[in-house]
């Protein structure tokens, strides 16, 4: 499944026999070229991630659907993925499906892991993938082996895990879960189709574990440190605009290490330290991530 088409805003592009992509005009350092909206189906159409509130983007989706849009599926309720739902419902009368109705999203059906939407031509299966967000779903187009990954996996970048809703431990488990599904390709929420999913997922997991080990080692050497100090030590030549995202990811790593009894710390702004086995043996205490 090749994807040579440019990521032009609000222009429908075929990426498979059953799938078209429309990119929202919301490019940024967080969204890359913009949020991808996908239309699945020919005679009956499901829209995955209507994107932000944007009249031109909604109009492009409605035009591409040509009166055949029946369902709207949201991977999660972050502001670049789901707020366009209300306008699309008003224009099409489509039913809305997602994990939860946070962020003002109003559902007709709550989806759980393994739930399916089935037509005569295609089947879409919901896959619960918490980590980036607790209510995050990926959607597997069973007929083509194509996984719509939302913000769980992105082309060209890693994913920000932002506590408390973002959970690094859950994210790593969800990556393995998706890898084990064996998708043929991944249609991400941002960027081009990913044509070698297993290699990218393996790299994601390796990268996260390496970063975790680096942060633990830094804490051992520094004695105590705040998250800002760890970011400065761990991220070389980081673009200043990316520092807030790096801080959130470091916090997520530290919370995971704290849950495993390897570090102890005081939230996003306090000091953190590495724990030795003697810390737990001597006091019987459990490592915590306070103030989070």
The DSSP secondary structure of the chain, one letter per residue, reads: ----S---BT--EESSSSEEEEE-S--BTTTBT--EEEEE-SSSEEEE---SS-HHHHHHHHHHHTT-EEEEE-S---TTTSTTHHHHHHHH--EEEES--GGG---SEE--TT-EEE-SS-EEEEEE--SS-TT-EEEEETTTTEEEEETTSBTTB-----TTT--HHHHHHHHHHHHHH--SEEEESSSSPBS-HHHHHHHHHHHHHHHHHHHHHHHHHHSEEEHHHHHHHHSTT--GGGHHHHHHHHHHHHHHHHHTTSEEEETTTSEEEEPPHHHHHHH-----EET-
Whether residue 112 contacts residue 128, with contact meaning beta carbons closer than 8 Å, is answered with yes
Kindly report, as residue ranges, where domains of CATH 3.60.15.10 are found in the chain: 13-195
pLDDT computed for residue 278 by the predictor: 59
pTM, rounded to two decimals: 0.92
pLDDT along the chain (292 residues), means of 10: 80 96 94 96 97 97 97 96 97 97 92 97 98 97 98 92 96 98 97 96 97 97 96 93 94 97 91 80 39 36
pLDDT computed for residue 23 by the predictor: 97
pLDDT computed for residue 1 by the predictor: 65
Neighbours of 205 (CB within 10 A): 15
- Region of 89 (left: φ > 0; alpha: ψ -120 to 50; beta: rest) is alpha
Catalytic residues: 80
* CATH classification (class only), 13-195: alpha beta
Kindly report, as residue ranges, where domains of CATH 1.10.10.10 are found in the chain: 205-290
pLDDT computed for residue 276 by the predictor: 81
Could you give the C-alpha distances from 82 to 15, 63, 107, in angstroms and in order?
A: 22, 19, 11
137-172 residues labelled b (16+ CB within 10 A) or e (exposed) = bbbbbeebebbbbbbbbbbeeebbbbbebbbbbbbb
What's the rounded Cα separation, in Å, for the pair 240 and 245? 10
pLDDT computed for residue 104 by the predictor: 87
pLDDT computed for residue 291 by the predictor: 39
What's the rounded Cα separation, in Å, for the pair 31 and 237? 21
What's the rounded Cα separation, in Å, for the pair 31 and 191? 9
Q: Which CATH architecture best describes the domain 205-290?
A: Orthogonal Bundle (1.10)
């Amino acid at each position: 499944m090749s994807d040579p088409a440019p990521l032009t805003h609000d222009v429908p592009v075929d990426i498979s026999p059953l799938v078209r992509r429309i990119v929202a005009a919301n490019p940024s350092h967080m969204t890359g070229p913009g949020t991808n909206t996908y239309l699945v189906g020919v005679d009956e159409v499901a829209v995955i991630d209507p994107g932000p509130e944007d009249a031109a983007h909604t109009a492009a989706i409605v035009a591409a659907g040509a009166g055949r849009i029946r369902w709207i599926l949201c991977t999660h309720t972050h502001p670049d993925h789901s707020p366009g739902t209300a306008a699309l419902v008003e224009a099409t009368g489509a039913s809305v499906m997602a994990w939860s109705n946070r962020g003002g999203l109003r559902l007709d059906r709550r989806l759980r892991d393994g739930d399916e939407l089935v037509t005569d031509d295609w089947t879409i299966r919901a896959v619960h993938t918490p980590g980036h967000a607790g209510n995050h779903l990926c959607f597997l187009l069973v007929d083509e082996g194509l996984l719509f990954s939302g913000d769980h996996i992105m082309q060209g970048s890693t994913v920000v895990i932002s506590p408390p809703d973002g959970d690094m431990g859950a994210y790593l488990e969800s990556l393995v879960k998706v890898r084990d599904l064996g998708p043929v390709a991944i249609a991400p929420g941002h960027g081009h189709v990913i044509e070698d999913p297993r290699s990218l997922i393996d790299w994601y997991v390796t990268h996260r574990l390496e970063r975790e080990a680096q942060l633990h080692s830094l804490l051992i050497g520094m004695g105590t440190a705040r998250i800002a100090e760890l970011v400065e030590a761990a991220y070389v030549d980081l673009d200043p605009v990316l520092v807030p995202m790096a801080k959130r990811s470091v916090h997520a790593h530290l919370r995971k290490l704290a849950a495993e009894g390897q570090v102890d710390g005081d939230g996003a702004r306090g000091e953190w330290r590495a724990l030795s086995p003697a810390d737990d043996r001597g006091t019987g205490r459990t490592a915590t991530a306070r103030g989070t």
